Structure 1
């Protein structure tokens, strides 16, 4: 045997591969009592029935809520309308039944004075009240139509206030009575001044500037809350002026003794005053209810109030 030759390596047996699969768990039986109960099965028909019932209950709640809101809306708007018209009608009745009607003549200045309470109530309360409530009453109208109606009611109130002021001013001069000395006259002057400014600014800003609608939209939108706030203030001052004027009329013409005895005329005057307070309360309640506003002007969308 050649010493330089190398004997071949013997063939090795293949290395057995380790089984990488996890060992099988021991066969242990789990008691049936320890298993959770199977979920309750609901048929498809029962599921649809439950869904329909749940949907109907939600819809019925929405309908009930909507019906309640509409009933509230109709109630307060109807009440406000009756009070606004009724207070002027009651004032006219008081003048004709207890104060001998109206006149504009030098021989009977007392009848000329009767124009003052009637026209001031009509201007500051009836027409101004409807003008304030138009944005709650006419919720389905186009914005431009509501603006025009708002301007028309203010246009009706304006001559009433002016003629009523001239009637009492001329009456005082004819009767030798001083002007602008009482709290009633001071409140009335402030209310008339604010009304004139409001009318001029509103007519110019919200009607004339519509000629350039897009260019002035930002300015008009910024003016809306200011105009609305001063409009409410003017209405409140108008009610205050009418109330103080009725008190003066009762004390001066009826007299403290007859007024304290609560004669028929005193009852009528007190009823007119209570009606004014009720009007103020109802109007402020309507204005405070955001749900009575038009849908497009809710949630602070002031810009919608200046668009067409």
Structure 2
């Protein structure tokens, strides 16, 4: 049974090196010589049950993130004036909440989850995927900011006077700095390994904190937009309910991603260098 489970694991990830190490561990275990297995291999064996739990929560998390972005898109498309980059100020602004939900929430969350979603993949490839997701998120929130400023200019609305806009701009600045520092420290060969290890802890904590702040920023933005545009919110109108379910999906997505990232039960175990 154990060998069958290991075969399934290695077939899924297609890593010959991993397969060799895992079956080596399996043979030692079948001979009742568990102490001979390395600490890393014993940790891997013990963690397999946690992978099923992780997969379930992670799948639900993906669905919540997609649902949140889709609901916000429907809200803006149906009730917010539609999407028209060169239209009136309302149809210009609708790109802002949609792109922010996709960039600063969904892609941000997927970027910090990628190392735990693929625990047996080559870490160098995961770093590239991590960077691509973050870069894509920055492209989206750049267009989101442009949409907000263009719509305000069209409607002669002042910029950066709300709490939402303040924390949003601060978050974007920190996000870009975090991305640039990450590229320099983790990709340039001239950076020493000791510096990388020291910065890695800071990078991880800063990423989680920024993700939580981005969730709060999106929620304040949703509340702000709804307070100005949903006239019959207190009457449980369809638009009001759409807003509430959008925010609820966003909250649950943020909670699930944060849990998956900080829970040591789901910590990545690397069996090879990189």
Given the alignment of the two structures, is residue 216 of structure 1 paired with residue 196 of structure 2, yes or no?
no
Given the alignment of the two structures, is residue 160 of structure 1 paired with residue 136 of structure 2, yes or no?
no
Cα offset for 1:293?
Answer: 1.5
Provide the C-alpha distance between the structure 1 equivalents of 2:47 and 2:159, rounded to a whole number of angstroms: 53
Cα offset for 1:66?
Answer: 5.6
Match of 1:143 in 2: 123
Match of 1:289 in 2: 263
Unpaired runs of 5+ in structure 1? 1-54, 56-61, 298-303
Compare relative contact order (CA 8 Å, sep 6+) and give the higher one, 1 or 2. Answer: 2
Match of 1:30 in 2: none
Unpaired runs of 5+ in structure 2? 1-31, 33-42
Provide the C-alpha distance between the structure 1 equivalents of 2:200 and 2:220, rounded to a whole number of angstroms: 30
Query: Among residues 70, 85, 88, which one is paired with 1:104 in the alignment?
Result: 85
Provide the C-alpha distance between the structure 2 equivalents of 1:124 and 1:253, rounded to a whole number of angstroms: 23
> For residues 72-111 of structure 1, what are the alpha-carbon distances to aligned partners after superposition, in whole Å with 9 as ceiling and x for unaligned?
1111111111112221122222222222421122x51110
Deviates more, 1:95-104 or 1:176-185: 95-104
Query: Among residues 43, 55, 59, which one is paired with 1:74 in the alignment?
Result: 55
TM-score, length of structure 2 as denominator length? 0.80
CA-based RMSD: 2.2
Given the alignment of the two structures, is residue 196 of structure 1 paired with residue 176 of structure 2, yes or no?
yes
Deviates more, 1:144-153 or 1:74-83: 74-83
Cα offset for 1:195?
Answer: 0.7
Higher helix proportion (structure 1 or 2): 2
Provide the C-alpha distance between the structure 1 equivalents of 2:180 and 2:47, rounded to a whole number of angstroms: 39
Q: How many residue pairs align between the two structures?
A: 233
Mapping for residues 260-279 of structure 1, pairs under 5 Å: 260-279=234-253
Q: Which runs of 4+ in 1 moved over 3 A?
A: 64-68
TM-score, length of structure 1 as denominator length? 0.71
| Contact 1:187-1:240 within 8 A present in 2 as well | no
> For residues 245-298 of structure 1, what are the alpha-carbon distances to aligned partners after superposition, in whole Å with 9 as ceiling and x for unaligned?
11111110113xx1111210110111110111101111121122112121239x
CA 1:69–1:248 in structure 2 vs 1: closer, same or farther (change >3 Å)? same
Provide the C-alpha distance between the structure 2 equivalents of 1:134 and 1:172, rounded to a whole number of angstroms: 36
Provide the C-alpha distance between the structure 2 equivalents of 1:149 and 1:278, rounded to a whole number of angstroms: 24
- Look at both structures and tell me which one has the larger radius of gyration over its CA atoms: 1
Match of 1:24 in 2: none
> For residues 104-133 of structure 1, what are the alpha-carbon distances to aligned partners after superposition, in whole Å with 9 as ceiling and x for unaligned?
22x511100000000000110011010010
| Contact 1:194-1:230 within 8 A present in 2 as well | no
